[in-house]
Amino acid sequence: MQLEKMTLSRLFEIYMDERTFLKNASPLSIKSNKICWLRFIKAMGQQRLENLNKAFLKEFVIKLRGLGLSETTCNITIRELNTFFKWLYENDHIDTHLRMQQLKTEKKIQKDFTDDEIKRFIDWKPKDFFEWRLYTLIITLIECGIRINEALTLKRSDVVFYRLRDKSQRQGQKRACSAIFARTAKAFMEVFKDAR
């Protein structure tokens, strides 16, 4: 079979075989690749390799948006197909490395808790061990200003009550001390007492 007569679908099958059997790609990754390819076929139909160029890819992105897909879904499709086009270039099926630009997406800013919501949580009275553990975690985050991964990796030996400090480790750094307020210290003591 001559290379220029091959359909993009046939080349995509070869690409999928390589990813599956030579690159040991996960089943989820393969499934995602195939879903994105189906979107390509739905938008552009069966195409030959010689039709592939920058103008063709711009037309594809326009038609992809015309299918009513969100910007995020379009970007996932674009990323997945860009890996296929890179494979085509690296395996000498095309002369230039074709790449589609991702669409701009609206950045969503996460809403902060209101003062009232934080006060309600701080005033909450935990009843059992699990509620105390959750309360201790959130109070530690609020009052000490440490990151979630730092709070989750704290050990009992990291909490020093006589100085009311905790030792949290930032990535690639030595353990740093953060001040613990009386409310946080009480919560830690309650969790440690119940954990015995």
Which residue from 184, 147, 148 is spatially nearest to 165, judged by alpha carbons? 184
* Average pLDDT of the chain to the nearest whole number: 84
What single-letter amino acid sits at 185?
Answer: A
Please check the confidence at residue 1 and state whether its pLDDT lies above 50. no
Fold of 115-195: hpI Integrase; Chain A (1.10.443)
Give the least confident one: 97-101, 114-118, 157-161. 157-161
pLDDT digits (tens, 9 = 90+) for 117-150: 888 888 888 899 899 888 888 888 887 778 888 8
- Print the SS3 string covering the chain: CCHHHCEHHHHHHHHHHHHHHHCCCCHHHHHHHHHHHHHHHHHHCCCEHHHCCHHHHHHHHHHHHHCCCCHHHHHHHHHHHHHHHHHHHHCCCCCCCCCCCCCCCCCCCCCCCCHHHHHHHHCCCCCCHHHHHHHHHHHHHHHHCCCHHHHHCCCHHHEECCCCEEEEECCCCCEEEEECCHHHHHHHHHHHHHHC
Closest CA to 147 of 122, 124, 126, 166: 166
Residue-wise pLDDT tens digits, 6-59: 789 999 999 999 999 999 999 999 999 999 999 999 999 998 888 899 999 999
pLDDT exceeds cutoff 90 at 174? no
Give CATH for domain 3-90.
1.10.150
Residue tagged 């230039």 (tokens): 96
CB count in 10 Å sphere of residue 109 = 6
Domain residue ranges in the chain: 3-90, 115-195
